Structure formats: C-alpha cells, structure tokens
C-alpha cells in the first residue's frame, strides 16, 4: 500500500477533478504490475496496473490488488474499474479508503458479488492526506485552499515601501513551484496582481512540457488589474462583481481572459464562497493555492475558507510598519484564533517552512 500511495502521488496536480489513485498487483508475494491515474480522462490506476502486468507477461488471476481508493463502479470518461478487476480474476482487493463520491457506485459490493475479497483501511490516514482536496470538495463542494506566503522574522510579507522581492531565498522559491505543481488553481488578489504581476505558473526543471499548469485566478471586485500583457501566456480567470467597469470587461475578454461575475459582500468585495464554488464546479479545481495578498488571506480566514497553510519564515528583521501576512477589517480574539495543527517544519537553506492544517474554533 505504501508503494500504491507513492504511485498515486505522481498524479497530484494532473488528475482533477478525479482523485489521485495508485494500484499495485501482487501474486505469490511478488509485485506483478503497477499503475496510477496519470491524467483526467486517461485510464485509471487499476487498468494501468493490469496493463503493466500484461506488458510484463504476468497473469493477474488470483492476485491481490492494493488500491488507494475503492475502485469505481460506474461509466464515466472511462469504463468501471471493477469490471476490469473482475475480468482479470483477481482474488482480493486491499483498499485504503472507500470512495465518498456517490456517483462512483458501490465498488465493494460489485467486487464481493463476483467472489473477490475486499478489505479496507490499510494506509487510510496517508490516503486521506493525499486526497485531501478531493475529499474536501466532495464534502463541501469547494476546493481545499492553502495559504502560501513568505514573511520575515518580524512578521512582514512586504516592507513599508511595498517591496517584497525577495523575502525568501532561492531554495524556498524553488520549493514554492513544487507547491504550485500540486495545485489545480492559484489565487491572488487584485493588489498583488497590480504590484507584482506574477506569472503564477510552474517552472520546474525536467518537468514535462505538456504537464498541466494550474489555473491562474485573480480576485478583483472592480477589475482593477493590469492589462495582463506582462503576465505571460496562459489562461487567466478573474472573479469580479457588478461594480466592474464594462469597458474593462470587454478589453480583458478580448485578450482571452475568462471572467465570472459573482455577488458582492456587504463591504463590496467578491463573495469568496461563491467564487470558490464556481472554481470547483465549472473548472474542476480540488486544490487551490492562495499566494496573497494580505487582504485576501484575511478574508479567506474570516470566512473559514482556508484549510491549510505553507508559511516560509526568512531569518530577516526589517523593522518599519510593513505589511502583515493577514490584514483585514476584523481580527480573531486570541482565544478563538485559527491555529495550525498537524504542523511540520522543513529547513530550506535557512528559511523555515511551516506546513499544516488550519483549525477553527
């Protein structure tokens, strides 16, 4: 199961709206086939494992399939995986997690009805972490949002003059592209778009040229964003409200930018819950990485829409007023402030990255 989970991880960032799944076939104590779901619309993990076994000349009859998620029992973009396992005459399926998506059908019942032993629970905790975005979206209809930012030891994400490049070091910034590669969408606010004009794409060495890029999203109620000419190629999606200027809308659409109007909050900002729901339902996003700015971070926290954080702390003390990581009209009293739980730390050449889940009281 650990190997199946490692295989599944290779599909993160490429398979949404499907979950990342891995499968390992074992017969007489020997691995006879391996597979994982590589991209949405392509063959699922179980089918790829069976194909691998066939390529190696191995007969799966009587084998055990170790799978990170219950095999699907419905016709979607591909035939049901239960049918492939039944046709292959495997004897046993060891599954980390049941599939909470009702459209997937009852895979366990189908396998058992055909004489296949089904066991669940092995590697469940690791599978939940791997499929956190998928599981969160099934439960809430929204993508799982991770806040990502770099700050100084005295808590600044930008200096008093607005400069923020570069607070983190090269090693941290390289790892930030790993985080981007694991996301389906990257979110920024209009202020960050105007100030930094970030490209928001994944730039990793040896990454396949056809690997999918995360969708690039700007939250800007009035469409107060640059022309996007400096942003580079690729698709952009902007959420705005009815307050947006009609001429600006037309000009952005002429540049190929996708626009979605959503309701405004009482203070005139974009309704983030509505925007995230569209991002999940219409664009298939399961994992969203929010890269700022401070007001967007604060709004996501206030609305309890952020589920995780990746915070890079650089060993710098810059002084001044600067910009805090979260700045909004409201604050959380200390007794009920969101807390990072199940946190881990990693040293990136002197920068310390804290990663964990956000717990609300």
- What angle is formed at CA 164 by the lines to CA 289 and CA 260, rounded to 5 degrees? 40
Average pLDDT over residues 235-258: 90
Q: Whole-angstrom Cα distance, residue 353 to residue 175?
A: 10
Average pLDDT over residues 68-77: 86
Burial of 209 (0-12, 13-18, 19+ CB in 10 A): exposed
CA-based torsion, 199, 205, 208, 214: positive or negative: negative
* 160-185 per-position pLDDT tens digit: 777 777 899 999 999 999 999 999 99
Lowest mean pLDDT segment, chosen from 68-82, 196-210, 222-236, 255-269 = 222-236
pLDDT confidence of residue 243: 95
Catalytic residue among 3, 46, 254, 287: 46
Residue that has been written with the tokens 């952020």 in this structure: 306
pLDDT tier, 102 (very low <50, low <70, confident <90, very high otherwise): confident
pLDDT tier, 316 (very low <50, low <70, confident <90, very high otherwise): very high
- What the block records as the tokens of 311 is 């915070």
- What the block records as the tokens of 155 is 């808590």
Per the model's pLDDT, the better-predicted residue between 235 and 201 turns out to be: 201
* Known catalytic membership, residue 46: yes
Per the model's pLDDT, the better-predicted residue between 141 and 104 turns out to be: 141
* 40-63 per-position pLDDT tens digit: 889 999 999 999 999 999 999 999
Q: What is the DSSP string of 52-89?
A: HHHHTT---TT-EEEEEEPPP-S-SSS--HHHHHHHTT
* 268-282 per-position pLDDT tens digit: 999 999 999 999 999
pLDDT confidence of residue 330: 77
Q: What is the DSSP string of 102-159?
A: GGG--HHHHHHHTT-EEEE-TTHHHHHHHTHHHHHHHHHSS-EEEEEEEEETTSEEE-
Which helix or strand (DSSP H or E) is residue 33 part of?
strand 30-36
Whole-prediction pTM: 0.91
Provide the 3-class DSSP secondary structure of residue 282.
Answer: coil
* 110-147 per-position pLDDT tens digit: 999 999 999 999 999 999 999 999 999 999 999 999 99
pLDDT confidence of residue 232: 62
Q: What is the DSSP string of 182-194?
A: T-SEEEEEHHHHH
Average pLDDT over residues 288-298: 93
- What the block records as the tokens of 315 is 């060993």
pLDDT confidence of residue 343: 95
**Average model confidence (pLDDT) across the chain:** 92
Q: Whole-angstrom Cα distance, residue 286 to residue 185?
A: 8
CA-based torsion, 94, 19, 52, 204: positive or negative: negative
Q: Whole-angstrom Cα distance, residue 219 to residue 272?
A: 8
């Amino acid at each position: 199961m650990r190997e199946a989970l490692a295989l599944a991880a290779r599909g993160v960032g490429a398979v949404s709206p499907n979950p990342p799944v891995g499968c390992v076939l074992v017969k007489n104590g020997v691995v006879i086939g391996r597979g994982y779901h590589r991209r949405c619309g392509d063959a699922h993990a179980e089918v790829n494992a069976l194909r691998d076994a066939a390529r190696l000349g191995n007969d799966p009859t009587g084998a055990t399939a170790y799978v990170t998620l219950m095999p699907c029992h419905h016709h979607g973009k591909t035939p049901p995986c239960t049918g492939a396992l039944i046709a292959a005459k495997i004897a046993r399926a060891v599954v980390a997690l049941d599939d909470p998506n009702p459209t997937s059908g009852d895979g366990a019942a189908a396998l058992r009805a055909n004489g296949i032993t089904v066991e669940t629970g092995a590697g469940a905790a690791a599978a939940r972490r791997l499929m956190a975005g998928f599981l969160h979206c099934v439960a809430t209809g929204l993508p799982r949002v991770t806040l990502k930012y770099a700050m100084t030891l005295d808590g600044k994400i930008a200096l008093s003059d607005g400069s923020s490049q570069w607070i983190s070091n090269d090693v941290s910034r390289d790892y930030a592209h790993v985080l981007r590669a694991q996301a389906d969408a990257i979110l920024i606010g209009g202020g960050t778009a105007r100030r930094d004009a970030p490209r928001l794409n994944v730039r990793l060495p040896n990454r396949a040229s056809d690997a999918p890029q995360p969708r690039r999203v700007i939250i800007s109620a009035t469409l107060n964003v640059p022309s996007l000419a400096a942003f580079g190629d690729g698709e952009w999606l902007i959420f705005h409200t009815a307050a947006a200027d009609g001429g600006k809308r037309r000009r952005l659409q002429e540049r190929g930018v996708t626009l979605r109007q959503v309701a405004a909050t009482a203070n005139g900002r974009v309704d983030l819950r509505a925007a995230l729901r569209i991002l999940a339902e219409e664009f298939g996003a399961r994992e969203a990485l929010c890269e700022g700015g401070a007001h967007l971070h604060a709004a996501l926290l206030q609305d309890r829409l952020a589920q995780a954080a990746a915070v890079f702390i650089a060993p710098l003390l810059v002084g001044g007023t600067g910009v805090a990581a979260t700045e909004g009209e409201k604050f959380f009293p200390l007794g009920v402030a969101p807390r990072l739980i199940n946190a881990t730390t990693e040293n990136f050449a002197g920068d310390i990255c804290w990663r964990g889940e956000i717990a609300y009281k």
